[in-house]
């Protein structure tokens, strides 16, 4: 197979841009009722009394549910194997309030407007307690394992490294971030009697949701049908049922009517997960030649009282750079906040912010090129697992990126570049994400009308899975992609695994290849053209085959990881704190690229999301109730077109056949890793200011964060004089040839 598949247009693109793609809340169900959530207005305490009488009398109201009359729900296993829910505490299970915005009731009415109006008529009295909402005041304890992986490790002894030429130690922080997908969280639950349930919900894990809802309502899994052909983004927040979905399904069963619940943007800030704020302290020790002697990485994050989720930042520490002495550990605090969860590159994203910022600081301290520092220290094995990587082209990412960006022309002094009266800076950082693969099953059918039908319950949350599956089937069978029809996102189809962890392509592609090969074998033909001829002669309805892929046998022999490098240019107007990104290059090693067009789009999407994190995304809490002060897509700031430059994406490397039959690793999440660090590194080059807290707001850009050296002070004064004399173009002429 080729290294890169051609740029195939999206199979689902036309349906989405014409409005023909039906999302969860858009299904038209006869007799549909509408639910609206009642949420807590305190951050901690108990419900003293709750009066629903006025709500129950309101026009159109069918029922009101609180902890006093909760619908029946069974406690699931909640173990990722048979079932998994985001919050271990079931909705309306008691009168306790654990965080502001917690669901404390549901009003059901004939229309959405009636339900919303009645929800505001519910009167609640509380016994309040002071909520813990400030990260700095929390009590931190050792974090539990993440998905079975220990978040602490040590080899050698970091504390005994005393002969290093350079040592640095710094603390880097991130704020709370919201997933904020374009499609809000929503669900329609429809029962057929009391023992069969159909769910329309944007879920990234169709079969996992089927098993979970089955356990929640005491049903065999085959009596639950999950329908999710399209998702409007998820980023990790739509993998499992949230309390609003569980409650909606329970109420629909109680009423024996279909019920729809759609979260408002305000409710999504609390009830649909977020990325926890983090505090990371990194210590690096290096010899004079730049070789690392020690790495220490300590992390703090927070979770809610109703479930445990640790932001696993230290997963990047043993895979990026080699050091004979290496230690990392994580701590977790319980705070009165909504439950944090997976968000694009959970752990790797904030982890790389800290690690790649620290590596840049080390490079400046050593007076060594940041690219060269990384080349000298990359590790060829996973230092925790003691396994070599199945394939690694991080060197190519760095060298190709440096050449294409013109890195050799980079000035070696801070505050040394100007353009149009603004400071100019260049930065770079590495990127990484583990290569994951799950179990996935696909059925392929050759039909008499010379078309191919591919069926799987695996789904596409916007990453291009429809297109990838069609392209793989077309290439394997030797037909045009237009002849392939793909059906996904229905639990009545073969189990296609989870659209999360960047594993959908790696899971589905090998299954599609094998199923197509088996179809041709069953027809005793070498290609689809001959198979179609044989099919028409046979009088059969179809030739079909089903195949399953699984994680590689070599997972005890190899460590699987993807790599990348980002390069960017920024301009900074210090007088008003305006930071603009003017140029961007990302070079990625993800094994075989299954579709160049959608893969590059995924990298760009990750970069854009990372730019938002770096420059503006920030969810602050009201300290009195712990409720976010942001409440919609206008108050929660994220990038617009004006904030984003042209993003150049290049792929390097070869198919990783040690990983799977297709040689493909995932691409959905690696693009965001390292993004915030490369921007902050470029800001340092431009201004001489090392900013270690995200986001990089105008206030931080205008602040004097540290005393400049004598040389830097002289440069700064000279820069002001240049700006004043409007001769800035002369200073940067030698460094702007490639800009």
The 10s digit of each residue's pLDDT in 135-159 is 999 999 999 999 999 999 999 999 9
Q: Which fold has domain 438-550?
A: Aldehyde Oxidoreductase; domain 4 (3.30.365)
pLDDT of 735 above 70: no
Answer yes or no: same fold for 275-435+557-735 and 438-550.
yes
pLDDT band at 736 (very low <50, low <70, confident <90, very high): very low
CATH code linked to domain 26-130+183-233+238-269? 3.90.1170.50
Tell me the per-residue pLDDT of 360-413, one tens digit each, with 9 for 90 and over. 999 999 999 999 999 999 999 999 999 999 999 999 999 999 999 999 999 999
Q: Where are the domains of the chain?
A: 26-130+183-233+238-269, 275-435+557-735, 438-550
Active site residue 669: yes
Average pLDDT over residues 183-195: 97
If one counts every other C-beta atom within 10 angstroms of the C-beta of residue 325, the result is: 18
Q: Chain-wide mean pLDDT for the chain? A: 94
CB contact burial 387-411 (16+ within 10 A = b; e otherwise): bebbbbbbebbbbbbbeebbbeebb
CATH code linked to domain 275-435+557-735? 3.30.365.10
Tell me the per-residue pLDDT of 491-527, one tens digit each, with 9 for 90 and over. 999 999 999 999 999 999 999 999 999 999 999 999 9
pLDDT at position 625 = 86
Q: Which of 497, 511, 510, 521 is nearest to 446 (CA)?
A: 521
pLDDT at position 713 = 53
pLDDT at position 1 = 37
Give the position of tokens 């990298």. 603
pLDDT band at 667 (very low <50, low <70, confident <90, very high): very high
pLDDT at position 696 = 98
**What is the rounded distance in angstroms from the CA atom of residue 18 to the CA atom of residue 25?**
17
pLDDT of 723 above 80: no
Q: Which of 407, 416, 350 is nearest to 374 (CA)?
A: 407
Give the SS3 label for residue 408: helix
Tell me the per-residue pLDDT of 319-371, one tens digit each, with 9 for 90 and over. 999 999 999 999 999 999 999 999 999 999 999 999 999 999 999 999 999 99
Average pLDDT over residues 642-669: 97
Average pLDDT over residues 76-81: 94
Strands 451-456, 440-447: pairing is: antiparallel
Strands 33-39, 259-262: pairing is: parallel
Q: Which of 541, 324, 323 is nearest to 447 (CA)?
A: 541
Q: Which of 438, 414, 437 is nearest to 424 (CA)?
A: 414
pLDDT of 709 above 90: no
pLDDT at position 729 = 37
Average pLDDT over residues 229-252: 97
> Of 714 and 496, which is predicted with more confidence?
496
Q: What are phi and psi of 708, to 5 degrees?
A: -75, 155
Residues in Cβ contact with 324 at an 8 Å cutoff, skipping those fewer than 6 apart: 155, 156, 293, 294
Token reading at 467? 């297109």
Residues in Cβ contact with 285 at an 8 Å cutoff, skipping those fewer than 6 apart: 158, 161, 164, 166, 167, 292, 293, 294, 325
Tell me the per-residue pLDDT of 293-326, one tens digit each, with 9 for 90 and over. 999 999 999 999 999 999 999 999 999 999 999 9
pLDDT at position 703 = 86
Tell me the per-residue pLDDT of 546-604, one tens digit each, with 9 for 90 and over. 999 998 766 689 999 999 999 999 999 999 999 999 999 999 999 999 999 999 999 99
pLDDT at position 624 = 85
pLDDT at position 728 = 38
Among residues 669, 718, 721, 730, the one annotated as catalytic is: 669
Percent of all residues in the chain with a pLDDT value above 90, rounded to a whole number:
92
């Amino acid at each position: 197979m080729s290294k890169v598949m051609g740029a195939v247009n999206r199979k689902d693109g036309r349906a989405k841009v014409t409005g023909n793609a039906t999302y969860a809340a858009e299904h038209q169900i006869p007799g549909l009722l509408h639910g609206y959530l009642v949420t807590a207005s305190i951050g901690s305490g108990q419900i003293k009394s709750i009066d629903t009488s006025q709500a129950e009398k309101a026009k159109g109201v069918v029922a009101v549910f609180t902890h006093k009359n909760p619908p029946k729900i069974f406690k699931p296993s909640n173990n990722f194997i048979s079932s998994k829910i985001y919050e271990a505490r079931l909705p309306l299970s008691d009168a306790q309030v654990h965080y502001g915005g917690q669901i404390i009731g549901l009003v059901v009415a004939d229309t959405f407007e009636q339900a919303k109006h009645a929800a505001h008529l519910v009167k609640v009295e509380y016994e309040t307690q002071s909520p813990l909402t400030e990260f700095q005041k929390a009590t931190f304890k050792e974090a539990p394992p993440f998905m079975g992986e220990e978040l602490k490790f040590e080899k050698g002894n970091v504390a005994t490294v005393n002969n290093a030429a350079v040592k640095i130690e710094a603390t880097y922080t991130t704020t709370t971030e919201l997933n904020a997908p374009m499609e809000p969280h929503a669900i329609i639950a429809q029962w057929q009697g009391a023992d069969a349930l159909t769910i329309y919900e944007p879920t990234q894990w169709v079969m996992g949701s089927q098993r979970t809802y089955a356990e929640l309502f005491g049903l065999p899994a085959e009596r639950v049908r999950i329908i999710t052909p399209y998702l409007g983004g998820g980023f990790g927040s739509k993998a499992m049922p949230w309390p609003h979905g569980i409650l909606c399904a329970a109420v629909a069963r109680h009423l024996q009517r279909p019920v729809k619940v759609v979260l408002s943007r305000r409710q999504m800030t609390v009830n649909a997960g977020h990325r926890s704020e983090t505090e990371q302290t990194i210590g690096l020790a290096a010899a004079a030649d730049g070789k690392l002697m020690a790495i220490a990485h300590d992390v703090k994050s927070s979770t809610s009282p109703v479930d445990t989720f640790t932001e696993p930042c230290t997963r990047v520490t043993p895979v990026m750079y080699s050091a004979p002495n290496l230690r990392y550990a994580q701590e977790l605090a319980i705070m009165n906040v909504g439950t944090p969860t997976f968000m694009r590159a959970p752990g790797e994203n904030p982890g790389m912010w800290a690690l790649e910022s620290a590596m840049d600081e080390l490079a400046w301290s050593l007076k060594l090129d940041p690219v060269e520092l990384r080349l000298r220290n990359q590790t060829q094995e996973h230092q925790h697992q003691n396994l070599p990587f199945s394939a690694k082209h991080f060197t190519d990412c760095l060298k190709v990126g440096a050449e294409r960006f013109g890195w050799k022309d980079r000035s070696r002094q801070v505050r040394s570049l100007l353009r149009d009266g603004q400071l100019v800076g260049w930065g770079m950082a590495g990127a990484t994400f583990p290569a994951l693969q799950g179990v996935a099953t696909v059925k392929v059918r050759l039909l008499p009308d010379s078309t191919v039908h591919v069926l799987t319950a695996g789904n596409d949350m916007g990453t291009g899975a429809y297109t990838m599956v069609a392209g793989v089937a077309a290439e394997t069978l030797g037909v045009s992609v237009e002849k392939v029809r793909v059906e996904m996102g229905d639990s009545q189809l073969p189990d296609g695994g989870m659209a999360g962890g960047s594993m959908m392509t790696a899971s589905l592609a090998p299954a599609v290849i094998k199923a197509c090969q088996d179809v041709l074998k069953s027809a005793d033909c070498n290609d689809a053209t001959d198979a179609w001829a044989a099919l028409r002669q046979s009088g059969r309805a179809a030739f079909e085959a089903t195949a399953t892929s699984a994680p590689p046998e070599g997972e005890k022999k190899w460590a699987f990881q993807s790599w990348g490098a980002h390069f960017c240019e920024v301009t900074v107007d210090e007088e008003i704190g305006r930071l603009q990104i003017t140029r961007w290059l990302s070079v990625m090693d993800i094994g075989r690229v299954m579709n160049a067009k959608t893969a590059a789009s995924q990298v760009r999407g990750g970069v854009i999301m990372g730019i938002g994190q770096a420059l503006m995304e920030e969810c602050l809490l009201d300290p009195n109730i712990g409720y976010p002060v942001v409440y919609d897509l206008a108050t929660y700031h994220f990038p617009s077109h004006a904030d984003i430059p042209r993003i150049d994406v290049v792929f390097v490397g070869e198919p990783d056949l040690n990983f799977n039959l297709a040689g493909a690793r995932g691409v959905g999440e690696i693009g965001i890793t390292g993004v915030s660090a490369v921007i902050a590194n470029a800001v340092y080059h431009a201004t001489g200011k090392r900013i270690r807290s995200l986001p990089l707001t105008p206030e931080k850009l205008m602040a004097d964060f540290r005393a400049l050296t004598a040389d830097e002070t002289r440069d700064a004064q000279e820069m002001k004089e240049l700006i004043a004399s409007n001769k800035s173009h002369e200073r940067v002429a030698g460094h702007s040839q490639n800009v």
